[in-house]
Structure 1
Amino acid sequence: MTITLLIAGCATQGAASKPAPTTAPPSTGPSPSAATAPPAPAATSAFCLDLTTFQIGVLVWRNDVLEEVKQGSPDLKGLQQRAVMIEYIGEKMQESAPADIAKQLRAVRKAIAASAKALKPGRNVRDVIEPLYNKRITPAFDAVDAYQGCPRNS
């Protein structure tokens, strides 16, 4: 506690020793960069707490879908169950997703849902793979996979 008081006292003393500005800057509102910068998500938000789990889940699930399809007799029920778990995590994350990644997160969730819905006996393999691997969706998967906008806990 003493250390905290000493640090606070030094910070206050240091601030008091600086000369006061002679003129106040004009008040024109928030700067343009501050207005366009999305707020950083809280480290304790569902988005940040589950981001790594979601990223790994999506990566593994996409790979599992390819592997199961290559084998010729995919475990449809197992893949669907994993898709439901990923979707559950993604749904909770969506509520607190920062604006700079929310659209991509939503697109990834929709792609997984569309692919999982196509996991039915007798269904065309392309119906399962296409939502996950196409020119339109790949940037969203890449953005979610590379996203690191959450504060790190020390």
Structure 2
Amino acid sequence: MTFEVRDATPADAAQVTRVHQRSREAYYGDALDRRDAAQDRYPMWLATLTRPGTWCLVAEQDGHVAGFIAAHLADRGSPAELSSLYVDPDRFGSGIGTALHTRFIEVVPSGTAELEVWDGNERAKRFYAVRGWRPTTRTRAGVAGRPFVTWRLDVRRGSRSLNAR
């Protein structure tokens, strides 16, 4: 199935929220706290999609958002922050995550980029490692006794090695 990657708009907030929720349920599994899962994240995503300085794309398939990415591109000297990359679990392995990640690499300035990955999310750790991201020693408290780990990517313009790994 084909999909289209486009700029996200505030009108996408409900579908972005749905993909976020379904994806979190898939990777946290039984570790997801019911109260946390019940939180209404629509206001958060609406605010994110309307916040100046936030770069966000959606992958649309069959008229629905099937994945999305959000980032804060770097100010001089600071790393770009990949804050969200989520794909609907029904579309894992479809190339949507790779397409969104590739677009991020195309727009991030040279330098470094960072993101956080929950240490229990093996799928995400494999995804990022293959694309050249490396875990750092920086962590913060996470879910079910597993921390969120900061990962870093060295982004060099003209480097073909990022997608070749």
TM-score of the aligned structures, taking structure 1 as reference length: 0.27
TM-score of the aligned structures, taking structure 2 as reference length: 0.26
Greater CA radius of gyration, 1 or 2? 1
Name whichever structure is richer in strand by fraction.
2
- Ranked by relative contact order (alpha carbons within 8 Å, sequence separation 6 or more), the top structure is 1
